[in-house]
Amino acid sequence: MGYRTAVYFPKDGEPAMEMATHRMVYDWNEPAGITRLLQVCDVITTEWENIPLDFIRELEQRGGIVRPGSKVLEVAQSRFAEKIMAQQLGISTTSTMFIPAGYDIASVEGNWAEFLPGILKTDGLGYDGKGQYPVKTTQALIAAHKKAGVGCVLEKRVKLKTELSVLVARTADGRVSVSDVVENEHKDGILHTSSWPMIFTHQGNLKVVRDAAVKIAGHLELEGVLVMEFFVDEGDNVLFNEMAPRPHNSFHGSIEAARTSQFEQHIRAICGLSLGAVEFHSQFEMENLIGGTWEEDWSVVLMDEFARLHLYGKAESRPDRKMGHVTRLKR
Ligand code: ADP
Ligand code: MG
């Protein structure tokens, strides 16, 4: 698109650094780093929602244009804040309660049973099923909460029929696009495949999901893209799960299968350009390549004229780490 880029991160050698015009290896809140970033950038964005809020606020206070900004990131850093926001907007969620760090569960006559069997999740910093503890009894809950050692949410386990996600983009002046809805399959808490069109739920759920996306984007005054994840339970009810204010794994198929990829849409949104058309033009399945199982002979994938291989260039392959993905367009 003709833009030059800078990548800022406290550690060198991250894959994105290879692509950047300017590589900025500074700690968060390092004055020289902040000054340089503000000098070089017309617009600043994030591809990870857990960047310290102090850093983002400092950039904003010094006149930096940060999209999405601290208002969005603050909500996205807390599972509980996300769910409360959704509920306030009339969007159904799983039953959830917040349990602060150090809270003495044993001494309180709580309505714990209502949330069991459930999943205890760290309120912040969780991804790919990390920081999650399945719990069936109050005893197990107490042990898990102690082990986590931080503020957590307790969620009732939903009997899942399927999982869905949707991508919404919004510009600073309020223009919005909403994607088609993809269907997600997880294995051990890690996204395994995302595909379109949906087959395990009915079209009526599309509207619930897409309306929720528009509501949340407007409420947050989003600038950029945001992906929302939903559960569909056995009664076909749609429940908001969580959101990520950035391009998201479940929309990697948009690179090949949509009229505008999520990455281009993000740049269009934060740079104030017109938003691209978002529909999928091809049916597809995107499959993640997880470390430990991914060091294969890629020639099979490369020989398939309908498949596209993406390897991220991460330095170390671990059994629970996303190393790349393959998108297969359907014939
Ligand atoms: P993250 O993606 O941040 O690791 P999620 O809350 O999305 O955390 O959980 C990962 C996956 O674990 C979900 O996509 C879903 O498959 C499963 N899961 C999480 N919470 C529940 C729940 N309350 N009931 C049933 N399955 C769940
Ligand atoms: Mg998730």
In this predicted structure, what is the pLDDT of residue 201? Answer: 86
Tell which of 48, 76, 104 closes a domain. 76
Report the residue among 79, 94, 119, 122 best suited for mutation to probe ligand 1: largest number of ligand atoms under 8 A from its CB.
119
How far does residue 129's CA lie from ligand 1's centre (Å)? 7
Ligand 1 pocket residue status of 124, Cβ below 6 Å: no
Among 81-90, 183-192, 242-251, 315-324, which stretch is predicted with the lowest mean pLDDT?
315-324
Kindly state whether residue 179 falls inside one of the protein's structural domains: yes
Do residues 64 and 187 both lie within one domain?
no
Tell which of 24, 42, 76 closes a domain. 76
Do residues 113 and 127 both lie within one domain?
yes
Ligand 1 pocket residue status of 163, Cβ below 6 Å: yes
Do residues 189 and 61 both lie within one domain?
no
Kindly state whether residue 214 falls inside one of the protein's structural domains: yes
**Which domain CATH number covers 182?**
3.30.470.20
Give tens-digit pLDDT for 255-285: 999 999 999 999 999 999 999 999 999 999 9
In this predicted structure, what is the pLDDT of residue 113? Answer: 87
Report the residue among 50, 95, 186 best suited for mutation to probe ligand 1: largest number of ligand atoms under 8 A from its CB.
186
pLDDT, averaged across the chain: 94
Do residues 210 and 112 both lie within one domain?
no
Do residues 107 and 208 both lie within one domain?
no
Ligand 1 pocket residue status of 197, Cβ below 6 Å: no
For ligand 1, atom 23, the nearest C-alpha belongs to 157
- pLDDT bracket for residue 108 (50, 70, 90): confident
**Which domain CATH number covers 136?**
3.30.1490.20
Give tens-digit pLDDT for 65-101: 999 999 999 999 999 999 999 999 999 999 999 999 9
CA distance 305 to 46: 34
CA distance 86 to 91: 5
Residue 129 has pLDDT above 90, yes or no: no
3-class secondary structure per residue, the chain: CCCCCEEECCCCCCHHHHHCCEEECCCCCCHHHHHHHHHHCCCECCCCCCCCHHHHHHHHHCCCCECCCHHHHHHHCCHHHHHHHHHHCCCCECCEEEECCCCCHHHCCCCHHHHCCEEEEECCCCCCCCCEEEECCHHHHHHHHHHHCCCEEEEECCCEEEEEEEEEEECCCCCEEECCCEEEEEECCEEEEEEECCCCCCCHHHHHHHHHHHHHHHHCCCCEEEEEEEEEECCCCEEEEEEECCCCHHHCCHHHHECCCHHHHHHHHHCCCCCCCCCECCCEEEEEEECCCCCCCCHHHHHCCCEEEEECCCCCCCCCCEEEEEEEECC
Q: Which two tokens stand for residue 33?
A: 């780093």
- pLDDT bracket for residue 294 (50, 70, 90): low
Do residues 144 and 173 both lie within one domain?
no
CA distance 300 to 298: 5
Work out the number of other CB atoms within 10 angstroms of the CB of residue 290: 22
Tell which of 108, 127, 156 closes a domain. 156
Q: Taking ligand 2, which is a single-atom ion, which protein residues have CB atoms under 5 Å away?
A: 229
Kindly state whether residue 307 falls inside one of the protein's structural domains: yes
The whole model's pTM is what? 0.95
Do residues 99 and 137 both lie within one domain?
yes
In this predicted structure, what is the pLDDT of residue 179? Answer: 98
Give tens-digit pLDDT for 214-258: 999 999 999 999 999 999 999 999 999 999 999 999 999 999 999
Kindly state whether residue 189 falls inside one of the protein's structural domains: yes
Do residues 166 and 144 both lie within one domain?
no
Do residues 172 and 146 both lie within one domain?
no
Do residues 67 and 143 both lie within one domain?
no
Kindly state whether residue 83 falls inside one of the protein's structural domains: no
Do residues 174 and 123 both lie within one domain?
no
Give tens-digit pLDDT for 146-159: 999 999 999 999 99
Residue 21 has pLDDT above 70, yes or no: yes
Give tens-digit pLDDT for 33-72: 999 999 999 999 999 999 999 999 999 999 999 999 999 9
Angle between helix axes 31-40 and 53-61 (nearest 10 degrees) is: 50
Residue 109 has pLDDT above 90, yes or no: no
User: In the chain, how many domains are there?
Assistant: 3
Kindly state whether residue 82 falls inside one of the protein's structural domains: no
Kindly state whether residue 182 falls inside one of the protein's structural domains: yes
Kindly state whether residue 85 falls inside one of the protein's structural domains: no
Stronger pLDDT, 315 or 123, i.e. the higher one = 123
Which residue range forms the structural domain that includes residue 71?
A: 6-76
Question: What is the percentage of the chain residues whose pLDDT exceeds 70?
Answer: 99
CA distance 285 to 278: 17
Q: Which two tokens stand for residue 238?
A: 């749609």
Do residues 174 and 316 both lie within one domain?
yes
Do the beta carbons of residue 321 and residue 314 sit within 8 Å?
yes
In this predicted structure, what is the pLDDT of residue 318? Answer: 87
